[in-house]
Amino acid sequence: MTTDGARAFGAAVEVETLKLRRATAARVAGVAVVVGCCGLSGAFLAVARAGGDSTMAAKVAPLVHGTGWAAYLGVVAQILSVAVLLAVGLVTSWSFGREFVDGTWGSLVAIPTPPGTTAAAKLVVLAVWGLGLCLATVALAVPVGLVVGLGPPDGAALGGAARVVVVGALTVLLGLPFAWVSSAQRGYLPGIAALLAVVVVTQLVTVAGAGGWFPYAAPGLWAGMGGQTAADAVTGLQLALAVPVAVLGGVATVRWWQRAEVR
Amino acid sequence: MTAGPPGVRRGETLLRTSAVARAFGDEVAVDGVDLTVHAGEVHALVGLNGAGKTTLMRLALGMLRPDRGRARLRVVPGPAVDARTAPAATWAQVGHLIETPFAYAELTVTETIRCAARLRGLDRHEAATAGERVIADLALEHWARRRVRTLSLGNRQRVGLACAVVHRPRLLILDEPTNGLDPAGVVRVRRHLLEAVEQGAGVLLSSHHLDELARVADRITVLHGGRVVGGLPPDGTDLERQLFAMLLAADGDAAGGAAGAPGAAGVGVARRDGGGR
């Protein structure tokens, strides 16, 4: 990247960061992910530890594997794998699609900052925002774990926290390709529709037993959504498929922005 | 207001479209238009809705690929460049407002204008200074800290104009810039544009308000059915009557199989006395 290119990218990152900071959708989604994941996980663990034969206890039991911090953070990772995909996918769809719906797309063309640079800046800002949500979730999960009576974090907590961050980071990457759908279809609703379709397909593929090789299912399975056996069966290669999916989606989005006409 | 770097002199051609054409499916939007904009002039486009004004402006800005012909820009010293492949240095000297303004509901007016300045190549300090200047120039101080979502249509348009001119471009392409503005706003914008032209900028402008065009334009070109059908004298009388006569004649020629008015060279008709603004 040339000096001018780097300067333009820096300016675009600055502008997109401000737009995301001011966006109600990003704030609501962020709070929902961080507070929702930790709150639900704490509640689920409390129900599971209380035992009993309630319907809730029966529903929660398949999510909780092991005991203590490992079990609790495993639940956090499972919920995060869905919540972050929805949050990042939705906000990504909105961030790209709103430029067309609001009519601001034309103002991002024929200026010194090329539209492809703006698209790349959006993706970077969204990825950092998503990763920040994952780290904030871990940060909040610790006091919530103490509140539900898990005691001081142990060695298993460190491993569990690392798994939460890895699951979250992979899922953030998987949320970025919806930018291409929103761009190519010039609106956020197509991106959100594609996101919902992927969530449904993920469920079907997982039920069919091929989830490990489906990039959108692998992180959740590894977190324990299909049980401990299914989690142990997920390989590093299967998890790593999220990276080429994100790269392909990102490159396709940037190229679309570079070439698209303003109509 | 100054108008960019030295090296492009008053009267030199900043924008030239040569037989440029574009269709959308069966609909021909622009059909072989030759047009120029020189440094230090306002070249106005008039025409009915669907005449091709916005499409022509988008072709001039490289936002659309022409089916035929080309649009070339020369706003910095050196050879003219094709609008579709123009470098950042060229766009740093171009400002535009086509249909929807650069206006994000969640940002304040000041933030919006600073963002526009940053994306147009100004550093943070320059963006802050230029933002304050253009807010004062366009009388937006009262709304400077307000979110754009709270503004009226006219004030959003004024914010869009501020974003288009904040980097003091040498070439301005403005599609109905006074849309939604009250009379005071129109006067402010007119004054701003004429100051820019005085400093050497070139302006391509479209509007449906003929009296407004008569006050600012040096040349007025009439577009109809995607073609140039003639020009109007900015200092002439009863422009509306002349416009409709020209459009009727063009329709008659088209019906007779001879599209375009004889002698319509696509360069508009120039103001005779250079005054009256």
User: What digits encode the pLDDT tens for the residues A56-112?
Assistant: 788 887 788 888 899 999 999 999 999 999 999 999 999 999 999 999 999 999 999
**Taking 50 as the threshold, does the pLDDT of residue B149 lie above it?**
yes
CB contact under 8 A, B100 and A104: yes
As a whole number, the mean pLDDT across chain A is 93
Amino acid identity at B30: V
Q: pLDDT > 90: what percent of chain B?
A: 73
**Taking 70 as the threshold, does the pLDDT of residue B262 lie above it?**
no
pLDDT at B6: 55
pLDDT at B2: 43
pLDDT at B257: 55
**Taking 90 as the threshold, does the pLDDT of residue B277 lie above it?**
no
Q: Give tens-digit pLDDT for A122-159.
A: 999 999 999 999 999 999 999 999 998 888 998 889 99
**Taking 60 as the threshold, does the pLDDT of residue B46 lie above it?**
yes
Judged by a CB distance cut-off of 8 A, whether residue B240 touches chain A is no
User: What are the structural domains, with CATH classification, of chain B?
Assistant: 1-93+175-277 (3.40.50.300), 99-168 (1.10.8)
Burial, B250: exposed, middle or buried (Cβ in 10 Å; 0-12, 13-18, 19+)? buried
Which residue of chain A comes nearest to B61, CA vs CA?
A110
pLDDT at A4: 84
pTM (predicted TM-score): 0.91
Q: Where do the domains of chain A lie?
A: 3-259
pLDDT class of A205 with cuts at 50, 70, 90: confident
Q: Best residue in B119, B148, B150, B171 to probe A by mutation, most A CBs within 10 Å?
A: B119
Q: pLDDT > 70: what percent of chain B?
A: 89
How far is residue B103's CA from residue B156's CA, in Å, rounded to a whole number? Answer: 7
* C-alpha distance from residue A77 to each of A134, A165, A192, B229 (Å): 9, 8, 23, 67
Comparison of pLDDT for B76 and A1, the residue scoring more: B76
How far is residue A99's CA from residue A182's CA, in Å, rounded to a whole number? Answer: 10
Q: Best residue in B82, B104, B172, B204 to probe A by mutation, most A CBs within 10 Å?
A: B104
Q: Give tens-digit pLDDT for B217-261.
A: 999 999 999 999 999 998 877 888 888 988 888 888 776 654 444
Which of A8, A19, A106 lies nearest to residue B99, judging by beta carbons? Answer: A106
Q: What is the mean pLDDT of residues B6-30?
A: 90
Cα four-point dihedral sign B170, B134, B143, B122: positive
CB contact under 8 A, A109 and B119: no
DSSP chain B: ---S-TTS-TTSEEEEEEEEEEEETTEEEEEEEEEEEETT-EEEEE--TTSSHHHHHHHHTTSS--SEEEEEE--SSSS-EEGGG--HHHHTTEEEE-SS-S--TTSBHHHHHHHHHHHTT--HHHHHHHHHHHHHHTT-GGGTTSBGGGS-HHHHHHHHHHHHHTT--SEEEEESTTTT--HHHHHHHHHHHHHHHHTT-EEEEE-S-HHHHHHH-SEEEEEETTEEEEEE-TT-S-HHHHHHHHHHHHHHHHHTT--S-TT--SS-EE-SSS---
**Taking 50 as the threshold, does the pLDDT of residue B42 lie above it?**
yes
> Which residues in chain A are contacts of B58 at CB distance < 8 A?
106, 261-262
pLDDT class of B112 with cuts at 50, 70, 90: very high
**Taking 70 as the threshold, does the pLDDT of residue A249 lie above it?**
yes
pLDDT at A222: 94
Quickly count: other Cβ atoms within 10 Å of residue A119's Cβ: 27
pLDDT class of B1 with cuts at 50, 70, 90: very low
Extract the tokens encoding B231: 């020009």
As a whole number, the mean pLDDT across chain B is 89
